[in-house]
Amino acid sequence: MEHSVEYAHATGLLGSVWLLVAIPLVSAAILLLLGRRADRWGHWLGVASVGAIFVLGLSYFFSLRGLENRSVELSLWDFIAVGDLHVDFGLLFDPLAAVFVLLITGVGFLIHLYAVGYMSHDAGRRKFFGFFNLFVAAMLLLVLGNNYVMLYVGWEGVGLASYLLISFWQDRPSAATAGKKAFLMNRVGDAGLAIAIFIMFATLGSTQFADVFNGAGALQSGTVLAIGLLLLLGAAGKSGQFPLQAWLPDAMEGPTPVSALIHAATMVTAGVYLIARSNPIFSLDPTLQTVVVSVGALTLLMGCIIGAAKDDIKRVLAWSTVSQIGYMFLGVGLGGGAYALAIIHLLAHGFFKANMFLGAGSVMHGMQDQVDIRRFGGLAKYMKITWITFGLGWLAIIGMWPFSGFFTKEPIIVEAFARGDWTAWLYGGAALLGAGLTAFYMTRLFVLTFHGPKRWTEDIAHPHESPLIMTVPLILLGLGSVVAGGLMATPVASWLTPVLGHGEHHEPVLSHTVITVLSLGLTVLGAGLAWLLFRNGTALVEQPAGPVVRAARRNLYTDAFNEAVFEKPGIFLTRALVFLDNRGIDGLVNALAAAVGGGSGRLRRLQTGFVRSYAMSILTGAVLVVAAFLAVQLGWLA
Amino acid sequence: MSDFPFLSVLTVAPLVGALVVVFLPASRGELAKRIALGWSLAVLVLSVFMWIAFEAGGDRLQLRESYSWIPRWGVNFTFAADGIALVMLMLIALLVPLVILASWHDAEKSKRSVPVYFALLLFLECTMIGVFAAADVFLFYVFFEVMLVPMYFLIGSYGGHQRQYAAVKFFLYSLVGGLFMLAAVIGLWVVGGKTFDWQALTQIDISTGTERWLFLGFFLAFAIKAPFFPFHTWLPDAGGAAPAGAAALLVGVLDKVGTFGILRYCLPLFPEASKWFAPYAIALALIGIIYAALLAVGQNDLKRLVSYTSIAHFGFIGIGLFAFTTQAGTGAVLYMVNHGLATGLLFLVVGMLVARRGSALITDFGGAGKLVPLLAGVLFFAGLASLALPGTAPFISEFLVLIGTYTVNKPVAIIATAGIILAAAYVLWMVQRTTQGTLNPALSGVEAMRKDLSVREKVVVAPLIALLLLLGFYPKPVTDVINPAVQATMEQDLGKQDPAPTVGTVQEAHR
């Protein structure tokens, strides 16, 4: 990094940028503390608070445009100040933060509005909006923090909100379990992020963005790699990327607006934000970038393959989210100009994916909460608005010209082909293949839901279109799915230059035109194939299939792997330790006491049964002590 | 204002209150409760004045008072507080009235005298304040031992299942530790020129061998009290059997005497031995973090589960104490305060659940959130604080311990960080099995389980929740008091400097 990172002090209107976090937070507190007293109007407060910060966000955005430096910092108070460690409770409003603020508040507002209708029959609607507002506050803190600790606070805050909302219907055991799984897998990533922060402090003496980015160049290459990989671990956890992807599809247990806002449009893209924000670190090390690219490429293909084998409308969408974020990781991993491309794809994805999730919710609303696409069919006639808006989202995600995705996904594929060596073919090929597969499984979803013969369960006579409060957000997001990508592509790229830098331009190994033709061709091929296969519907129960489909149905055995390697041994270890602690260590002490006290009868009784467990516990204890001591010593020598 | 003898008055006041309450007839239970509550609130008010009188960043030991006791042996009633003792005294003064309020009906179930129960709580407060306020080693030892008596009776007379066994075990463990300390105290008196004055004793020179033996005597007592692995097995029994309020004080305050003792006595009095033993102590602490967390996951008794989580938390404190950096040390002390608030809350809430259900077994619950949503919500919040979620106070302390430790010992910090994943596992699994999922049919049959938090219970939990949030976002008032005391221990007593950033260009550029 030749240029040094400096942020101006926030003045004027921008001095009140903290309101973005405070308003939804206060609203959440009111909703949760007032209890039933707020049941009648609570949801409107929730909507209004997000609407208000959207307007505020817009005005901050325009004041930022007028500034020369386009980055302002606001230190609110000393958060942690001990010895040489100084952590600001501070915010940073710059072009990258600004686009996230607009996405979160804009799309967030529409989804809040939709949720008023979607949750109207739920007794817990006020609580729902409390959690929803809490999420918005935490998410804004995440993207507005001016140092890694602030980011971490927001990072775990959104994790909490996500947990609360996934397990919102917590009397369902599956929802409670899914929430817990999400939180735990995220904590694995969070631990990585935490250690990255420790390294920054130990080496650079600061966790402020400006200090870290300015000092990163002086770090040893091993340190850069370590920080980068740990940040990547955190990012993978939050964004459902390999190897921490398993929680995201299960998160669909939450109400559909949650899936749209948190598990599609905003929170799950936080990993992309983290890497883009940390671009001065990632750009330092090509190996690091290759790891990010590989994670992205692998995950985007996994998502496609698994998505093609699922029959639950929300799970297909969830896997498509995993896959699309894979494209974004691919982008931020490629670095240079592709940082901005990933962010642009992220924004466009926010629109079309939120649109499709809300569309799915609308379908479920009209079909008595049915989620099985084998039980849909022919809905186009009954839900015209949902059909059209979902259709626009579908065209956008498969990257059909002139819809949103075409302008945002295509450039990432081109950049993948522009890596300087043979890996261009590998990653470019994966991205291209992904485009074809995406077209296939999304078309399958679309056709099975809205076209072909009706395969409804008997209890459904007349599926109905959703009320206005749900369809208006759908229409607006549908419009976004058409135009957002094309409108944003160029201006957003130059808007983000102060943060993400100018990318050097490399020529792709194939010409731009050839790549476009190939990707459009594959898209049409995938979509056409799916249309042919599924236009007449599908079997109502799972059919026997070959090994690939079987594997895809079981999430490529990743869940089975986690269970066999972590869960089962973990449970065994826990049980063994509980046994040893009760019988072994404690029993040993009791036996000693009995011996001293002369209760020989009791002693004999104790001993005969448990000699083996004493031996085991002494052994275990000794091994533990030696191992821990070695770890400590190792640390002191290093 | 600072001339007021705060520390001696604070120590004696609860004792007077205990004497007033204990002589009430057993039939005047209601009056006893009111007097005890009023008395403990008065202590709280007085300690707030003490907080104001204390000068953060001033002399290391402040509010010093000394009265002659046994001149022949050089024993004095010497009281003084540094920032570390101050925050612990505040914690005690805050927790005791809340515990009294939370235990309002606990004693009635035991068939024993209600006034005695509340007298014991006040007597316990006296000994707890004394042990943190003492600046005379002998006086400290006396309070350290006397403290066992009220707790023994609280567990043994008013506890639940297996209370006798648990009380005796608690007493014996502590007594054995206390005997080691007594030997070391006498040894210290001999080599230290026949004085028990803490400040005088920090100045003496001791030969290496003697120093290590004396260190071990103190350390063993403190490691049992804290407790550290492998001296921990008394705590789950005691915590499981004690009435919830007493359990909250047991893990919230009493156990902190162990970690406080290490910081106040082991490190300043035996600096070289402390450095020599540090790797061993850290190894034990590190095992505690992982081992106790795994055990917490496997528990089926709410109170035992919380006890195990505390052992894991004490592991973090232990690492922080022996890493010898300002951040880790300050984090450890802050952890002591925050853990008192968070686990205190957790124990009190668990107590409210157990009192309703008549059982502490997790399998006797299930889906309780449907019946008592507010109580379930507070349990969840206490759990979040316990897993150190950012935004709650324990996050700050855990973060400080880990980041401070990382600068001197990477593997230890990294292994300890794995503990935060396990913390999420034991908290969330406990919450799920207790309050979420399908409603346990046996639960809905219990009349008391239909009553959500009462006004009294809300008054108990609200201040703790508010403090946990406040200190989670703005810990500075507390860290500013702790930091100078910790810095003095690290720099003056131990001669340790924080390592400079290895690259450090940033810092220099900024200065």
pLDDT digits 0-9 by tens, B96-129: 999 999 999 888 877 788 899 999 999 999 999 9
Q: Do B283 and A180 touch (CB under 8 A)?
A: no
- The confidence score (pLDDT) of residue A32 equals 92
Q: Length of chain B in residues, anyone? A: 511
Residue B304 lies in a domain: yes
Can you list the residues of chain A whose pLDDT is less than 70? 1-3, 583-619, 636-638
Burial of A480 by CB count in 10 Å (0-12 exposed, 13-18 middle, 19+ buried)?
Answer: buried
Is some CB atom of chain B closer than 8 A to the CB atom of A222? no
How far does CA B282 lie from the centroid of its chain? 19
d(CA B339, CA B395): 10
Cβ A68 vs Cβ A469: under 8 Å? no
Q: Is B211 a residue whose pLDDT tops 70?
A: yes
- The confidence score (pLDDT) of residue A600 equals 43
- The confidence score (pLDDT) of residue B505 equals 52
Cβ B217 vs Cβ B183: under 8 Å? yes
Cβ A338 vs Cβ A331: under 8 Å? yes
- The confidence score (pLDDT) of residue B511 equals 36
Residue B279 lies in a domain: yes
Which residue, among A57, A132, A39, has the nearest Cα to A101 in the 3D structure? A57
Is some CB atom of chain A closer than 8 A to the CB atom of B386? no
Average pLDDT over residues B17-30: 90
DSSP class of residue A74? E
- The confidence score (pLDDT) of residue A598 equals 47
- The confidence score (pLDDT) of residue B205 equals 87
Residue B408 lies in a domain: yes
Element (H, E) at B294: helix B271-297
Residue B407 lies in a domain: yes
Model ipTM value: 0.93
- The confidence score (pLDDT) of residue A590 equals 62
Q: Do A152 and B390 touch (CB under 8 A)?
A: yes
Residues of B in contact with A77 (CB under 8 A): 474, 476
Residue B264 lies in a domain: no
Cβ B288 vs Cβ A634: under 8 Å? no
Q: Is B187 a residue whose pLDDT tops 80?
A: yes
With CA atoms as reference, the chain B residue closest to A208 would be B506
Residue B163 lies in a domain: no
- The confidence score (pLDDT) of residue A380 equals 86
What phi and psi values does residue A595 have, to the nearest 5 degrees? Answer: -65, -45
Counted domains in chain B: 1
- Beta carbons within 10 angstroms of residue B447's beta carbon: 8
With CA atoms as reference, the chain A residue closest to B299 would be A578
Distance from CA of B109 to the nearest CA of A (A): 29
Burial of B187 by CB count in 10 Å (0-12 exposed, 13-18 middle, 19+ buried)?
Answer: middle
- The confidence score (pLDDT) of residue B504 equals 63
The answer to whether the pTM exceeds 0.90 is yes
Which residue, among B380, B350, B457, B462, has the nearest Cα to B102 in the 3D structure? B457
**Structure token digits, residue A341:** 């491309």
- What percent of chain B has a predicted confidence (pLDDT) above 70? 98
**Structure token digits, residue A389:** 């808006």
Residues of A in contact with B428 (CB under 8 A): 163, 179-180, 183-184
Q: Do B413 and A199 touch (CB under 8 A)?
A: no
Which residue, among A466, A326, A472, A345, has the nearest Cα to A396 in the 3D structure? A345
Is some CB atom of chain B closer than 8 A to the CB atom of A173? yes
Dihedral sign from CA coordinates of B190, B194, B197, B199: negative
Contact map slice: B 87-126 vs A, CB within 8 A? none
Using DSSP, state whether A78 is helix, strand or coil.
Answer: strand
What phi and psi values does residue B275 have, to the nearest 5 degrees? Answer: -65, -35
With CA atoms as reference, the chain A residue closest to B405 would be A198
Cβ A327 vs Cβ A302: under 8 Å? no
Asked if the peptide bond before residue A402 counts as cis, ω within 30 degrees of 0, the response is yes
B389-419 b/e (C-beta count within 10 Å ≥ 16 → b): bbbbbbbbbbbbbbbbbbbbbbbbbbbbbbb
Residue B416 lies in domain: 270-497
Tell me which residue in B389, B409, B501 faces A205 most closely, judged by beta carbons: B501
- The confidence score (pLDDT) of residue A608 equals 45
Enumerate the H helices of A400-452 as residue ranges.
404-416, 423-450
Place of tokens 């995950």: A299
Bridge partners, residue A256, by sequence: none
Average pLDDT over residues B328-343: 96
Count, in order, helices (H) and strands (E) of chain A: 26, 3
Tell me which residue in A35, A219, A577 faces B298 most closely, judged by beta carbons: A577
Residue B90 lies in a domain: no
Cβ A168 vs Cβ A175: under 8 Å? yes
Bridge partners, residue A93, by sequence: A72
Residue B457 lies in a domain: yes
Element (H, E) at B70: strand B62-70
Which residue, among A142, A131, A138, A139, has the nearest Cα to A179 in the 3D structure? A131
The predicted-structure confidence for B293-314, as pLDDT tens digits, reads as follows: 999 998 889 999 999 999 999 9
Is some CB atom of chain B closer than 8 A to the CB atom of A21? no
Cβ A244 vs Cβ A189: under 8 Å? yes
- The confidence score (pLDDT) of residue A586 equals 65
d(CA A618, CA A592): 14
d(CA A543, CA B214): 75
Instruction: Name which residue leads in pLDDT, B331 or A500.
Output: B331
Average pLDDT over residues B240-258: 92
Distance from CA of A498 to the nearest CA of B (A): 21
d(CA A377, CA A451): 5
Which residue, among A133, A352, A538, A268, has the nearest Cα to A360 in the 3D structure? A352
- The confidence score (pLDDT) of residue A492 equals 87
